[in-house]
Structure 1
Amino acid sequence: MNKQRGMLNRISENDFEQMTTADSALFVGSPEFIIEKILTQYELFGHKRVMFQLDIGGQPFEQVVKGIELLATKVAPVIRKETSK
């Protein structure tokens, strides 16, 4: 599993799942899940910025680009709309 994610340090599948839940710090999942997670944290903290590092673990360039495209086209428009109310 770690090799698939490009991770050098070993973590268990259970640890990874715990690190990517709705109430954890890592943003991993579908655009819909990321939107939900950002909006939940926005309600809690009222923060104005979210920062992502998409190139962790030596992912292929194409995967990084796809992540950027999804953030720009699927996630950001919804977040802008929901937080401007």
Structure 2
Amino acid sequence: MADPNLDSLIEYPLDFPIKIMGRRHDHFAQTVVDIVKRHAPDWDAATLEMRLSKSGTYLSLTATIRAVDRAQLDALYTELSGHPMVSVVL
């Protein structure tokens, strides 16, 4: 089986921003922090960027992690996008 990193133009490790969007909910940001920390234990949650939509209905979070390989990013994207509070992961 081919190494997935050879198919990528990304050179690891690198700082990689992940944008997570969902409906504004009391526990949304903490839930996202918990998921990101599972996949990137060295990530500093204090660097999480938060933006509310104009209507205040949605919250956009940006977590910039130090990605070590594609498998790490794939696992993080899979868990985030599978969570019921999360609408979009970019």
Q: TM-score, normalised by structure 1?
A: 0.31
* Structure having the larger proportion of residues in helix: 1
Q: Report 1 or 2 for greater relative contact order, CA contacts < 8 Å, sequence distance ≥ 6.
A: 2
* Structure having the larger proportion of residues in strand: 2
